[in-house]
Amino acid sequence: MSSIALTVALVSTQRRWHGGEEQARLLAVGLRQRECRCVVLARRGSLFAERMADEGFEVVTFSGGRGPAALWRIRRALRRIRPDVLHYNDSHAIGVAGLASLGLRIPARIAARRVDFTIRSPKQYRWFCNRVVCVSGAVADVCREGGIPDRLLRVVHDGVDPARVRSGDRARGRQALGLNDDQTLLLTVATLTDHKGHRFLLEALPEVVRKAPNTVLALAGDGELRSALQRQAERLGIDSHVRFLGFRDDVPDLIHAADLFVLPSHKEGLCSTLIDVMLAECPIVATTAGGIPDLVGCRTGCQPVQSNTEQTGCQPVLHNEERTGCQPVPREPVAWLVPPRDPQALAEAVLHALDSPDQCAAMRERARRRAEQRFTADQMVESTLAVYRELIAKPQAV
């Protein structure tokens, strides 16, 4: 595979490891495989710095914040590295590394935007970025509405390593959770924070367990809302059906162990875990929040399942993002989608999915094919390189 021999400085200011750091790791690995030099600039003591060093990358560390010490350290590194690309992996990196790079000749300054939150400081994107790489169309819309010029915006979806999730084992995952064969496992993998919408899923669960009493909901992930969510489960009388797993390093096993994956977010940049779920052929119930429709093949104009007790079951979304004028092109669905913040619709969708094994089987297969065709790490790396190539003209390496 041909590639351009670039030097990329990849900057992260995050202390912990989340989805954005995994995407940065996959990008760095992909660049190295394509004979590019990738130097990591990361916060001192961060998991990103430690793990990237363990993977053999050159790592330069700096102190947190935008103080003189951090700026001097980053600027000194950039002058030595002389990168073709300065890639900010998070919004805080734009401020510190962008400021440190002032006056340096760096052809491409690229910012990653992974969340669909309101833009707080559009000026830093205009001052320090040549392009803003958005993980979904919804994130690009938020950036546009927040004052970032459309000419700077590009959409590059996250990607995953298919081999990682395929290493999962259903029996091993269910054994780890102590589940019996007759128990139905609902799984959510997400940080326990407000925009992930766990509270709406808990509100939906009493209706689910009333009709499917052997249901267990496993919440993998930790966060500031754990205690509040545990209290909510107790208040709703469903605490015996809910497992708070905390951080897990066996997520592939858990995904294969699940009978249904549920993502109740009311804000969501994209959710790369959902790609893993699609590759593992686990049925999906999710909301229409943020970039989720990009993954499952539904963009603006789709009709989500509405909460209606007179419905005969709920119907999956039947529209595709491929559009001709204002008319959506129908396609076969890969997931059940419901409106955000609607526990009743969520409960109906979960029960309908659990009661539709044949439909689930067809949707699982379509989801796997879609993920393989559009959302692998290799595709993400190539799309990112295409953004770099817009700004840099270098001969192709043979």
Integer Cα distance of 324 and 271 in angstroms = 27
CA 56, 166, 361: angle at the middle one, nearest 5? 155
What's the mean pLDDT when you consider all of the chain?
Answer: 90
CB atoms within 10 A of CB 113: 27
Residue 259 predicted with pLDDT over 60: yes
CA 366, 315, 321: angle at the middle one, nearest 5? 55
Task: Report residue 5's pLDDT band, with 50, 70 and 90 as the boundaries.
Answer: confident
Same fold, 3-159+377-397 and 162-374: yes
pLDDT at position 67, please? 83
Integer Cα distance of 363 and 366 in angstroms = 5
Indicate the residue type of 214.
N
Render pLDDT for 179-200 as a digit per residue (tens, 0 to 9). 999 999 999 999 999 999 999 9
Residue 309 predicted with pLDDT over 60: no
pLDDT at position 64, please? 77
Integer Cα distance of 279 and 290 in angstroms = 21
> Which CATH code of 3.40.190.10, 3.40.50.2000, 3.30.499.10, 3.40.50.300 fits the domain covering 3-159+377-397?
3.40.50.2000
Task: Report residue 4's pLDDT band, with 50, 70 and 90 as the boundaries.
Answer: low
Integer Cα distance of 31 and 158 in angstroms = 15
Find the range with the poorest average confidence among 156-170, 263-277, 309-323.
Answer: 309-323
Integer Cα distance of 157 and 371 in angstroms = 11
Q: Give residue limits of the domains in the chain.
A: 3-159+377-397, 162-374
Model's pTM, two decimal places?
A: 0.88
Find the range with the poorest average confidence among 1-15, 209-223, 361-375.
Answer: 1-15
Contacts of 30 (CB under 8 A, 6+ apart): 377, 378, 380, 381
- Mean pLDDT, to the nearest integer, of 53-62? 97
The pair of three-digit structure tokens given for residue 391, joined into one six-digit string: 């700004």
Mapped onto helix, strand or coil, the DSSP state of residue 191 is coil
Asked if 256 and 170 touch (Cβ cutoff 8 Å), the reply is yes
pLDDT at position 191, please? 94
Asked if 70 and 41 touch (Cβ cutoff 8 Å), the reply is no
Render pLDDT for 276-290 as a digit per residue (tens, 0 to 9). 999 999 999 999 999
- Per cent of the chain over pLDDT 70 is 89
pLDDT at position 331, please? 63
Render pLDDT for 310-359 as a digit per residue (tens, 0 to 9). 333 333 433 333 333 323 334 688 999 999 999 999 999 999 999 999 99
Q: Does the domain spanning 162-374 belong to CATH 2.40.110.10?
A: no
Asked if 27 and 57 touch (Cβ cutoff 8 Å), the reply is no
Residue 123: exposure state from Cβ atoms within 10 A (0-12, 13-18, ≥19): exposed
Residue 225: exposure state from Cβ atoms within 10 A (0-12, 13-18, ≥19): middle
Find the range with the poorest average confidence among 113-127, 167-181, 219-233.
Answer: 113-127
Mapped onto helix, strand or coil, the DSSP state of residue 227 is helix
Integer Cα distance of 252 and 162 in angstroms = 11
- Mean pLDDT, to the nearest integer, of 29-51? 96
Quote the strand ranges of the chain, DSSP E: 3-4, 7-12, 37-43, 58-62, 85-88, 108-113, 131-134, 153-155, 184-189, 215-220, 242-246, 260-263, 284-287, 319-324, 327-330, 336-338, 396-397
Render pLDDT for 197-247 as a digit per residue (tens, 0 to 9). 999 999 999 999 999 999 999 999 999 999 999 999 999 999 999 999 999
